[in-house]
Chains A and B, each alone.
Chain A
């Protein structure tokens, strides 16, 4: 096994172990779903006003035709106004991934963003929200700011099942000649609490999504994932998820992504 693979697996396992061993630290709400915790979709609820949270995760990347890689993500979230929060994060990585053949350590881009919930779900009206993120070019070989605008609608179907529609527009300010400046995407997320009426600390999540290829001429890429969010402390949640990308065409390489995360509020 290559050294880079061992390092990635070790980093993932250590992080996952740290998370599973922590029992006392909403974020701490297992039913309030944020992007990458553990899947890519958001629900339409912000964290509470004045609430602060740290959300972190580690992912093991298994590209079909490349080296194993690992990613870390740490994000600070602050509910600075009612129904609105700010977030700032970074995601360093090492090893291979479907996006690049470069396996060197990458400190990753710093991302800053804002999330606003327009309304709670009421009667037959979904909860609506919008989030905007800017990815600053702090990573290896990065240039220009990448923006993402995401519209979110969450609606209950049945009694406890919820659907979360995420519509994305990714904008690359400093796109290369072979890159697309605008890349749309859509993700349909699903969540359902598990264990009712006897336990109240676990939520199942799943998603399917389609996004445009980043390079001109590339086809769309489909993705799917399943995951679980488990409350482990008074204000803390562990999540675990499995995602896969399906190659849109031969120009893209698919990968499996195994994610484990931990979030706590304070």
Chain B
């Protein structure tokens, strides 16, 4: 994005301005600023009080403490960027066409609120309320969805200040989510125009920023076998159920809309929306998050790379949930593991790799699906028994989905 020289000059300039501002406006939030997380990745604060002040102490290592994998030695510079980097969506006649199916549009607006509320409560010392007050707040919004798409950053400002790069990645991939659905819902494009436009949107997604998520089929068994894995679903099953309900909707809607007329789409969403609200949001018995190719096989077969991006995005959400829910980690460890999770699913980490191949034996670069075949989340123990996979285990090589 920027040359090293420019970046360091900017940091020096910022340091000067920060000092001046600090004299003018005394801080109400106590935290350490680090300009280079590779030199000093730590902060001494542990959690935030709603008023922005720290109110807890670092957890002492306990019996639950596990050996955490280290950060890779050389991380890309963008992973520590301090820029805002808001990028506007592609222009097109299809923008906001999802509002032609108003119920779906509003349900998607509510989804944005739910993730943000949970993240904000997790980083402001309210994790103990997640299954009660937080769940109720999110559930109210799900039942009374907002008219317009909220800006998640506004709902979770504390989370955004701590994990701004992660927020950029989420936001950027959510734009791809939103625009591809707008294309499918647009009555102004033919089916062939829609397919071409979705391909164009995908190119825009991968070429515009360095922090796109990889389009390779990831080994979900590996990603879900980290030392912190499954913490969130075990501690907060109701809220996790909501999240996986969102993922069910965000996957299912593609085949609901794909190659259908607007009338068919509206009629179909009456059924899909009913199932979403009555059943899928409140399920707590899923062994794993819904995978895109399971719920939208037609779209996934046509656009496997987009399908993979969305699965990997949702897996990143799960990894972040698990990290934030692991109270045996220090704040510094959480920050490092979130950074590592970003690195694991980023396109840059898997550059030049191909689907259908395995690179190394650790599981991270295990992309053994046929080229063009959407990933189905290789699991070491299969779907039925997937609840406590062996940590860092390598999936069976012949396993090709469920």
Which residues of chain B have C-beta atoms less than 8 A from A153's C-beta?
Answer: 17, 21, 24-25
Name the segment of B78-86, B239-247, B366-374 touching the other chain: B78-86
Q: Which residue of A lies closest to B87 (CB)?
A: A49
Interface residue ranges of B71-94 to A (CB < 8 Å): 82-88, 91
Which residues of chain A have C-beta atoms less than 8 A from B66's C-beta?
Answer: none
CA distance A49 to B204 in the complex (A): 13
B31→A124 contact, CB < 8 A? yes
Interface residue ranges of B128-183 to A (CB < 8 Å): 137, 140-141, 144, 146-151, 154-155, 157-158, 160-162, 164
Residues A157 and B86 in contact in the complex (CB < 8 Å), given A233-B148, A266-B91:
no
Say if the beta carbon of B50 comes within 8 Å of chain A. Answer: yes
Q: Which residue of A lies closest to B158 (CB)?
A: A159
Which residues of chain A have C-beta atoms less than 8 A from B275's C-beta?
Answer: none
Say if the beta carbon of A97 comes within 8 Å of chain B. Answer: no
Residues A122 and B82 in contact in the complex (CB < 8 Å), given A198-B144, A201-B148, A266-B91:
yes
Q: Which applies to chain A's interface (DSSP): helix, strand, loop or mixed?
A: loop
Residues A83 and B84 in contact in the complex (CB < 8 Å), given A156-B161, A197-B137:
yes
Which residues of chain B have C-beta atoms less than 8 A from A118's C-beta?
Answer: 10, 13-14, 17
Say if the beta carbon of B289 comes within 8 Å of chain A. Answer: no
Q: Which residue of B lies closest to A151 (CB)?
A: B17
CA distance A123 to B148 in the complex (A): 29
Name the segment of A6-14, A125-133, A141-149 touching the other chain: A125-133
B50→A158 contact, CB < 8 A? yes
A197→B99 contact, CB < 8 A? no
Which residues of chain B have C-beta atoms less than 8 A from A127's C-beta?
Answer: 84
- Closest Cβ of chain B: how far from A266's Cβ, in Å? 7
The interface bits of chain A over 60-99 (1 if a CB of B lies within 8 angstroms of the residue's CB, else 0) are: 0000000000000000000100110000000000000000
Which residues of chain A have C-beta atoms less than 8 A from B144's C-beta?
Answer: 198
Q: Which applies to chain B's interface (DSSP): helix, strand, loop or mixed?
A: loop
CA distance A160 to B31 in the complex (A): 18
CA distance A79 to B17 in the complex (A): 24
Say if the beta carbon of B38 comes within 8 Å of chain A. Answer: no
Which residues of chain A have C-beta atoms less than 8 A from B13's C-beta?
Answer: 118
A interface residues, tally (CB under 8 Å): 47
Partner of A128, one of B17, B157, B161: B17
A120→B50 contact, CB < 8 A? no
B25→A163 contact, CB < 8 A? yes
Say if the beta carbon of B96 comes within 8 Å of chain A. Answer: yes
- Closest Cβ of chain B: how far from A4's Cβ, in Å? 39
Which residues of chain A have C-beta atoms less than 8 A from B120's C-beta?
Answer: 159
A121→B161 contact, CB < 8 A? yes
- Closest Cβ of chain B: how far from A120's Cβ, in Å? 4
Which residues of chain A have C-beta atoms less than 8 A from B162's C-beta?
Answer: 122-123
- Closest Cβ of chain B: how far from A10's Cβ, in Å? 31
The interface bits of chain A over 91-126 (1 if a CB of B lies within 8 angstroms of the residue's CB, else 0) are: 000000000000000000000000001111111111
Which residues of chain A have C-beta atoms less than 8 A from B356's C-beta?
Answer: none
A124→B84 contact, CB < 8 A? no
Which residues of chain A have C-beta atoms less than 8 A from B164's C-beta?
Answer: 120, 122
Say if the beta carbon of A59 comes within 8 Å of chain B. Answer: no
Say if the beta carbon of B43 comes within 8 Å of chain A. Answer: yes
Complex A-B: 23 CB contacts under 8 Å = A48-B88, A83-B84, A120-B84, A120-B164, A122-B161, A123-B29, A123-B33, A124-B27, A124-B31, A124-B33, A127-B84, A153-B21, A153-B24, A156-B29, A157-B28, A193-B154, A197-B137, A200-B154, A201-B146, A201-B147, A201-B148, A231-B148, A234-B149
Which residues of A are interface residues toward B (Cβ below 8 A)? 26, 29, 31, 45-51, 79, 82-83, 117-128, 153, 155-160, 163, 165, 193, 196-201, 231, 233-235, 265-266
Given contacts A118-B10, A120-B84, A193-B154, 19 further A-B contacts (CB under 8 A): A49-B86, A49-B87, A51-B88, A117-B83, A119-B84, A121-B161, A123-B29, A123-B162, A125-B18, A126-B21, A126-B25, A128-B17, A153-B17, A156-B52, A159-B51, A159-B157, A165-B25, A197-B141, A198-B141
